[in-house]
Structure 1
Amino acid sequence: MPAGLLVAIALGILEPTLFLPASLIIVGAHYLTFISLYGIRLYGVLAGVLVGIGAVALFWMPGIRGISGWIGAAVLLAAAVPLYLGSRAAMREPSADPAAA
């Protein structure tokens, strides 16, 4: 993640409007590791949406580059409650591994 953000900073230095979409792609991609770490597939949806918004802003709709950070923030806020509820449900489920009991 830190190396990816260095890439976003470098892009932002070359062209300031590229920083937010590149950051969305990097932050979204880092959520992919949470799927296996926490066992909640909703992180994959969140990752896909953030990467998708960043890619659309970067390649297809350059007009939304300036507000793509706000769009990403809205997505993260909208995902907060389902992710919180999903993590609470995952903690309540008994482990399928008999050795863990």
Structure 2
Amino acid sequence: MSVLNPSAFYLLPLLGLILFFYLLKGKPRQIKVSSTLFWQKIRQTLTSQRFRWRLPPELLLFLQLTILGILIVALAQVFLTLRGKEAEYVAIVIDTTAS
């Protein structure tokens, strides 16, 4: 395995930065209030208007770390060399006609 651009691995600390910001974000605080009558009406209107399906924060963290890791490896241009095999050339032909 060889790397054409090893300086791209200097971006790896960005993975730690994403993890740091995830751990820095604390849990939401609960505040006691005297009446929630108006908040219930606002909540009903907001929940009817917004998209209800959300990804869990852990899954979003995993996706962010995975995508950044793939981008760093792509920037580093990692390739695999096999011994004892000749290079095979592949031609890709794209037909743009309607038929």
> Does the alignment reach a TM-score above 0.5?
no
Q: Greater relative contact order (Cα 8 A, min sep 6): structure 1 or 2?
A: 2
Larger radius of gyration: 2
Of Structure 1 and Structure 2, which has the larger fraction of its residues in strand? 2
